[in-house]
Structure 1
């Protein structure tokens, strides 16, 4: 028996099966993360020993999942997987063993493996320092290019080779995406995991480049397993029934997703589109299961009303802008009558933001309008608390209520003026405006559902994709100015 086989056998004996339902390889962690179930993570405390301290120790503390001996054996196995002396076939076999063992391990022991991968597979600091010095000395000389290459090679960590070793296995990509998804909730509490997370994001950005992705239409005739995933992953407007999903895949609708060849039955992101003759102002008719299909011969507008990412493990990897561009091209080819492309989008951060900024916005409101707000709220002079309390009953406001206009003003301010680090505060606005869209129109009671009222007092917004102005709008945003339609600009508060 060789050393590697002996280590594998010993670690297998030491690692217990997790107390959870067995799932296919690589999926247990992701399912637990998505459903909120699964074993709880061992809490990081101030007395927690570092990974290196544990590797050098003899005894395990009660809060530690792996004993020092187990930790050393696992580290040896990880290193053996990328041993330069072994063949690719043998390296793949060793990686396969680790995947199987990881799948059976508890979340706490998986965390130990994350820490090993994050902390013990770093680039050699001395080699990096030396290469950096040589590169700095070579700048401006004929040796600059060669020195740069050496510096780049020195900064590549063995961790990257380890991830590549896993990725070549048939189930390797799925395993790594699920591993990173399971790791996400732990990042804020344990900064030691950041190196592994950032390395994985970098690798995924390469492996999931849009050039490798396939755009596919998802229809009612698609396999049932694929349609079920729409129900599972829909993140904007929950799908309530099979009749609901059938309505979203009707003749006047289109649904497209990006697929990766290594995950052929798993949409990475998908968009739902309604083809109609106007810019939609409410989500209710679009989700009406009993409504007749629109006449495609009269459709001039394509309304993107839901975009959902499906893989938390691919957080930070951008697909959305490319998806929308590809879908616009596909729709334009299929339906030459289509001339306008717009979203009907939620404003998920509005209510929380207004709760934090209502007093500031009230101060920006002219005195005459403040008096009108006070009379409408039943308290003069009004305070932010009184206005917010009245807005809790926003659905009952009269069309001429000054509170209604004030809320629209606040929403216009939120979408068109509120930036952090040069980017819109609202996550949906950040996505569409970053793609070159324009804030076109606010829609009162666009989403009267409980979720819509909770997020944005029922308001929805149209972002217009004017294909001739996308680059200009993006450049404008880079300069700190959001592209908005005239009606939105008129609603925004003026500095007095």
Structure 2
């Protein structure tokens, strides 16, 4: 962590009384919103914003949905005003006419969200509000448009320049460790001893992004194992009786679990920056590290196979071949890979490096992929080119081993026909 980042995070290490614990105002929330947008003084603006956020967090789901629909419908743009402002700007471009167009084209609810965010602690409340929106919106098109406004603002508020990378260790505060345990989304942490095995040994690392306005809430974290060679089993990585390695003797950093922590920040991408920053930091710390790989689940393999009428093979090599074919050839929307984890890592510039059968013996691993897992390789000299090829051509870059496995499946399928 740089000195500047450390100072920045320290500045915001404050504790605020929970907004939701404030007594809800007896005034209608629509009236509070109208007053807040009426350009009050700074003191009254903060008080109004607190009342609105406190009112919202005390609502049940029915009330929250009504509030969100008020923002979506009553605080939307007026198309006729936008058309008129655009015509005026087109006929007489000027600073004044462009400002008028910008004002008309921005829905009033964006300014409301910005003003609500001026309250200390409000950023987390607004992230929770968007989580409610995503949970309650269904297929309502106006609520979908409201979500675009949240995303527009959050992309700016949570850009990489504001994020602070912090190592998480067994010595980290207990409330942070509890959240790491709760937010782990790939390989569930079963106990404090399980968490200790992932954080305390010298060949284990964990890093998380934090935002200064939410200093006690990790946004995303990655668990890293330092190994000799590329692992092919998560059981081996997480074994209780494994012998820890000297980090100086390790040649590979394995990103074996990446978890997004905030439902309200869905589709706000941090993973790309996190992996590249951690890889760069570990490279600087340990000169012996030569490879940066994941050990990733294949969450939709079984589902896809069922859709295609393919039975999951019993033989390990056949399962590997099926998984290789799936990762290289199965397509979803926009000709992107069907698998969401593949889309994430390939979009970051990784390549499909190796496929392993019997790699995840958990019930979840068996259900989602027949126990098959995959290594994505982050070749730091090639990630930019791989990313460009994937973004522009949807090219899936893979090792010769994986390509051969995929061809084996294709040949076997053709022979059966």
Q: What TM-score do you get using the length of structure 1 for normalisation?
A: 0.74
Asked if 1:479 corresponds to 2:393, the answer is yes
Asked if 1:458 corresponds to 2:371, the answer is yes
Tell me the secondary structure at the aligned position of residue 215 of structure 1: strand
Q: Aligned ranges for residues 146-165 of structure 1 at < 5 Å?
A: 148-165=98-115
Partner Cα distance (1:235, 1:409) in 2: 27
Partner Cα distance (2:228, 2:20) in 1: 45
**Offset of residue 240 of structure 1:** 0.7
Q: Which residue of 1 aligns with 2:19?
A: 25
Q: Which residue of 1 aligns with 2:203?
A: 252
Of residues 166, 181, 195, the one that matches 2:131 is 181
Tell me the secondary structure at the aligned position of residue 154 of structure 2: helix
Cα pair 1:348 1:428 within 8 Å, conserved: yes
Of residues 329, 346, 351, the one that matches 1:433 is 346
Aligned length: 388
Cα pair 2:347 2:387 within 8 Å, conserved: yes
Asked if 1:74 corresponds to 2:29, the answer is yes
Q: Which residue of 2 aligns with 1:490?
A: 404
Q: Which residue of 2 aligns with 1:316?
A: 267
Asked if 1:424 corresponds to 2:375, the answer is no
**Offset of residue 26 of structure 1:** 4.5
Query: Gaps (5+ residues) in structure 1?
Result: 1-22, 29-69, 359-383, 398-403
**Offset of residue 145 of structure 1:** 7.2
**Offset of residue 127 of structure 1:** 2.4
Change beyond 3 A, Cα 1:158–1:88: farther
Q: Aligned ranges for residues 32-71 of structure 1 at < 5 Å?
A: none
Cα pair 1:127 1:154 within 8 Å, conserved: yes
Deviations 1:240-292 (A, max 9, x none): 11111001012111100000001101110000000111111100011112212
Of residues 232, 245, 260, the one that matches 1:281 is 232
Q: What TM-score do you get using the length of structure 2 for normalisation?
A: 0.88
**Offset of residue 159 of structure 1:** 0.5
Of residues 140, 152, 155, the one that matches 1:202 is 152
Deviations 1:354-403 (A, max 9, x none): 11113xxxxxxxxxxxxxxxxxxxxxxxxx4xx44xx4xx4xx4xxxxxx
**Offset of residue 148 of structure 1:** 4.7
Partner Cα distance (1:74, 1:302) in 2: 51
Partner Cα distance (1:242, 1:25) in 2: 31
Of residues 103, 113, 125, the one that matches 2:57 is 103
The structure with the larger Rg is 1
Q: Which residue of 1 aligns with 2:327?
A: 415
Asked if 1:406 corresponds to 2:318, the answer is yes
Tell me the secondary structure at the aligned position of residue 294 of structure 1: coil
Partner Cα distance (1:289, 1:122) in 2: 56
Q: Which residue of 2 aligns with 1:343?
A: 294
Partner Cα distance (1:158, 1:242) in 2: 47
**Offset of residue 119 of structure 1:** 1.1
Q: Which residue of 2 aligns with 1:401?
A: none
Mean Cα deviation higher: 235-244 or 418-427: 418-427
Partner Cα distance (2:138, 2:318) in 1: 37
Q: Aligned ranges for residues 92-171 of structure 1 at < 5 Å?
A: 92-137=46-91, 143=93, 148-171=98-121
Tell me the secondary structure at the aligned position of residue 424 of structure 1: coil
Cα pair 1:417 1:481 within 8 Å, conserved: no
Tell me the secondary structure at the aligned position of residue 492 of structure 1: helix
Mean Cα deviation higher: 213-222 or 286-295: 286-295
